[in-house]
Amino acid sequence: MRRCLARLTAREHEVLLLLGRGMSNAEISARLHIGETTTKTHVKRVLDKLGLRDRVHAAVFAFDHGLVRAGAGRLRTGGG
Convert the pLDDT of each residue in 6-46 to its tens digit: 899 999 999 999 999 999 999 999 999 999 999 999 999 99
Q: What was the pLDDT predicted at 73?
A: 59
Find the helix packing angle between 36-50 and 55-64, rounded to 10°: 60
Does residue 1 have a pLDDT over 80?
no
Largest Cα separation within the chain, whole Å, is 39
Buried b (16+ CB within 10 A) or exposed e, 55-78: beebbebbeeeebbeeeeeeeeee
Of 12, 9, 15, give the one whose Cα is nearest residue 30. Answer: 15
pTM of the model: 0.84
Which run of H or E residues covers position 17? helix 10-20
